[in-house]
Amino acid sequence: MIILLKIQIYQFKMQKFLRIYLFLLSKIKQIPLFQKKNYQIFIILGHPRTGTSLLHTYLNAHPQLLSLNEALSDNTNLSTLLSPKPFFIKAIGFKFFYEYIKNEDKQLILFNLLKNWEVKIINIKRKNLLRVYVSLLIAEKTHEWSSIEPHTKKNKTIEINPLECEKAFYNYKSLEKIVDEFVTQSNAKIIEIEYESYTEFPDLYNYKILKFLGLNPIKLHSLLKKQNPESLENLISNYSELKEYFKNSEFESYFE
């Protein structure tokens, strides 16, 4: 019992230290010191609720990398996004959600980046699109989009309309096809990451990503915790009905 208590105290102290370190690091990256634009540009490409935030926070723990998160949500001016940064910043990037392709301004940004810059793309995908959809609906219900505490909301159970769910699946697939073809034609360098593997072996994949970006690989840290580790059956109130609806369809494998 005493040993467990000591371990918990140690973990709490380390968590507190990590928060302070990441906070100070974020402030240091904002210092206008010997600014320049000689950095690698990267894009985190994926759907919302597929690990893009986890990847973003891991990457931002690297002292030579600046990830701007969802910068395109309120800024479509490339000149401000890619402004001069402190001399020690070697890579800068932001998320590009698949759904952004439906917005003309955001679509133009992607086109200009791929045409005029040597952009590297980190493409993260989640095999189970039902998990993606469930995570989205729970976030909309609880208003908790990310957390440093695991599954803090208790009332997370949702009911899913089969037709709306099917529509969402086809929409995910359609957007992926459009953007992936667009990116492939650009000959941009791409590294593909599978969410399920990334969350299981983050150190391994972070090493690969940092090498891909031309940075010195170091151990990275993130404060974010997985929000919905429960089984789909426990998260979806009409799970059996939904499973029956998709039986013998191309989406049958999403049901655990």
The rounded distance, in Å, linking the Cα atoms of 152 and 256 is: 23
Given pLDDT bands bounded at 50, 70 and 90, which one contains residue 6? very low
- Among 228, 226, 227, 224, smallest CA distance to 57 is for 224
Region of poorest pLDDT, from 33-42, 193-202, 247-256? 33-42
Cβ atoms of 50 and 226 within 8 Å: the answer is no
Domains and CATH numbers, the chain: 31-254 (3.40.50)
What are 190-215's pLDDT values in tens digits?
999 999 999 999 999 999 999 999 99
In the block, tokens 């799970």 appear at: 239
What are 75-132's pLDDT values in tens digits?
778 877 888 888 899 999 999 999 999 999 999 999 999 988 899 999 999 999 999 9
State the maximum Cα–Cα separation within the chain, in Å, rounded to a whole number: 61
Which tokens is 9 given? 């105290």
Q: pTM (2 decimals)? A: 0.89
